[in-house]
């Protein structure tokens, strides 16, 4: 997967519980590479962490994206990580996948 516009793939795109990939278009090299892609209006909105099959964690800095995701029937847990975002971090940087 090409990532010429960002350092990490998860800094450009992440996936919703249904597999739809969300991304902020100016940072995505080629959205057509994804089976299902949803463009979001704010960069922090491209960073979600799945909490369960209906819930995502995301930054409070993306209220318009939150509305889009809630409109798709998702429960959104928005957290203020503004101090971390000043260092170009996001919720995916603060997460660890456990199986």
Which residue ranges make up each domain of the chain?
9-94
51 and 31 Cβ atoms separated by less than 8 Å: no
Read off the pLDDT of residues 2-47 as tens digits, 9 standing for 90 and up.
Answer: 666 565 556 679 999 999 999 999 989 889 989 999 999 999 999 9
Our answer to whether residue 54 is catalytic in this structure is no
Q: Which of 47, 54, 90, 93 does the annotation list as catalytic?
A: 93
Quote the tokens at residue 94. 């603060």
- Closest of 80, 23, 82, 73 to residue 48, by C-alpha: 23
- Closest of 90, 81, 99, 98 to residue 14, by C-alpha: 90
| Global pTM value | 0.87
Our answer to whether residue 8 is catalytic in this structure is yes
Q: Which of 8, 47, 54, 90 does the annotation list as catalytic?
A: 8
At 70, the pLDDT band (50, 70, 90 cuts) reads very high
Give, for 71, the enclosing helix (H) or strand (E).
helix 63-71
């Amino acid at each position: 997967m090409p990532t010429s516009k960002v350092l990490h793939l998860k800094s450009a795109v992440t996936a919703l519980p249904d597999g739809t990939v969300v991304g902020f278009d100016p940072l995505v090299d080629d959205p057509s590479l994804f089976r299902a892609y949803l463009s979001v209006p704010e960069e922090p909105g491209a960073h979600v962490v799945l909490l369960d099959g209906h819930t995502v964690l995301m930054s409070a800095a993306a209220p318009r994206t939150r509305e889009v995701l809630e409109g798709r029937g998702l429960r959104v847990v928005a957290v203020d990580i503004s101090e971390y975002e000043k260092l170009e971090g996001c919720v995916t940087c603060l997460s660890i996948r456990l199986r």
